[in-house]
Amino acid sequence: MNRKSTETLVGLFVLLGIGALFFLALQAANLGNFSTEPTYSLSARFDNIGGLKVRAPVRSAGVTVGRVTAITLDPKTFQGVVTMEIRRGFEFPKDSSAKILTAGLLGDQYIGLDPGNDDRNLAPGATITQTQSALVLENLIGRMLFDRAAEAGGAAAKP
């Protein structure tokens, strides 16, 4: 093999490596999906959004049907307001519910939509009223430790 073909192969290998790193960066930033499908907006209010981030997936039955586009705080109710863009092909009944779920034990959080049974669908710009906030692992551990300490203190007080 001559020197020119070796340099060409090394250059091609470096370009493939840069392309792979770019693809990995897009996937890690949740930007790998450049969909231009028409969407409509829905919002939901949560008492605690946990670690939910903008661009997090919105899933129903495990299928990604949209993305979170904005997270704000309502200054009157002090609730987190999550705005989502849902693909037009997916319409949900008015009595659908939204939950903040975690992918795996310590994975990223996403919105899970559970369809209801109403005959009418949510209109674009509607607010989902039935919500369940994020389950924060630190709160669960703290509550468990507090309960154990209370049980231990109660057991020690008994003669």
Residue at token pair 């907006």: 41
* Helix, strand or coil, per DSSP, at residue 158: coil
Q: Return the pLDDT at 2.
A: 80
Q: Return the pLDDT at 133.
A: 84
DSSP 104: S
* Helix, strand or coil, per DSSP, at residue 109: strand
Q: Return the pLDDT at 59.
A: 93
Q: Return the pLDDT at 77.
A: 92
Q: Return the pLDDT at 7.
A: 86
pTM of the model: 0.68
- Domain spans, the chain: 1-32, 39-143
| Inter-residue contact 131 to 46 (CB < 8 Å) | yes
What is d(CA 71, CA 141) in angstroms, rounded to the nearest whole number? 26
Q: Return the pLDDT at 81.
A: 94
What is d(CA 47, CA 77) in angstroms, rounded to the nearest whole number? 9
Q: Of 112, 68, 70, 72, which Cα lies nearest the Cα of 92? A: 112
Residues 6 or more apart whose CB falls under 8 angstroms from that of 68 comprise: 52, 53, 54, 55, 56, 57, 58, 82, 83, 84, 111
Q: Return the pLDDT at 158.
A: 53
Q: Return the pLDDT at 35.
A: 60
Q: Return the pLDDT at 152.
A: 76
Q: Return the pLDDT at 105.
A: 67
Q: Return the pLDDT at 32.
A: 54
Given a cut of 70, the residues of the chain with pLDDT beneath it are 1, 28-36, 105-106, 153-159
